[in-house]
Amino acid sequence: MTLLLMHGGASNVESDVFKRKQNAVSSALGKISDFSIDALDLVELAVEYMERDPHLNAGYGSILQLDGRARMDAGICTSDRKYAGILQIEQTKTPIKIARKLMDAAYHSILCGEGARKFSDENGFPRENAITVEQMEAFEESCKTFPEISYQSFSRDMSDLNKKKLGTVGAVAIDKKGRMAAACSTGGTKYCFPGRVGDTAIYGAGVYCSEHVAVAMTGEGDKVLRRMTARLVEDLFLKSGNLHQAVTDAAQDLERHENGYCGIIAVSSDRQYAHAHNTAYMAFDQHAA
């Protein structure tokens, strides 16, 4: 049996925006015609389809940082401990494909900024506009709140800002041969200081895969980084043997220790699959066959 779980971010407010995210995730799942491919190809394809949807905060449609530029992060990993992350790359609609290429190159694990861009160029990925009209309008509205780029200004109402740091896409899978993989991609957070890197592409924080579990996160990335929540799912699963309990407890751990919001999807080597979130909603869909 092949299992694929996908998410398009978490939310505390049901709205037309969230409904569009849910529809986008389900639409991406519906575009996958062959679920017999291996888990790594499956999560890459699932995330790529979500990155191409302008209603999701990843790839084309990414939130703009406070200098008006779209800088994206993506990470991908497998149950045989392969991993690569691309951080703060610009001018691409599909950063997950670049992360996959870096993983296949098997030399560096992470490239960022100009280095990531140069790697992308060398490997023939086209330079593409990732900025939508909708996100440009949202950026212009953000400028009214932060007319000057000042890190100090974020401390005015950090609690309110943190509630808006919930945009990511991710996928986890286990294929018929028992291989697992996980992938995540994001445009970052609303009100994002230029150059900020969150949890999404960081192994053990926002994305994780081992011989036991595959995990993809969404939520308040700065807090997830401190708790290493994706890696915590494995620890909890190995203690209980219950994946649903593990993801539920991991979400509660983030809330208890960091007052943090998150969503989690996961599969395990014994073919359990589960999702949890401590937000009101999470855009989510799955396939099991």
The catalytic site residues sit at 168
**Cα–Cα distance for residue pair 81/286, rounded to 1 Å:** 24
Q: Are 111 and 87 in contact (CB under 8 A)?
A: yes
Which residues lie across from 10 on neighbouring strands? 282
**Cα–Cα distance for residue pair 116/72, rounded to 1 Å:** 11
- C-alpha of 283 from chain center: 12
For the four alpha carbons of 80, 78, 40 and 36, in that order, the dihedral sign comes to positive
Q: Are strands 169-174 and 281-288 parallel, antiparallel or unpaired?
A: unpaired
Q: Are 174 and 180 in contact (CB under 8 A)?
A: yes
**Cα–Cα distance for residue pair 155/73, rounded to 1 Å:** 24
Alpha helices in the chain (DSSP H): 16-31, 39-51, 95-105, 113-122, 133-145, 158-162, 221-227, 229-240, 243-258
Closest C-alpha among 32, 44, 58 to residue 173? 44
For the four alpha carbons of 225, 276, 267 and 188, in that order, the dihedral sign comes to negative
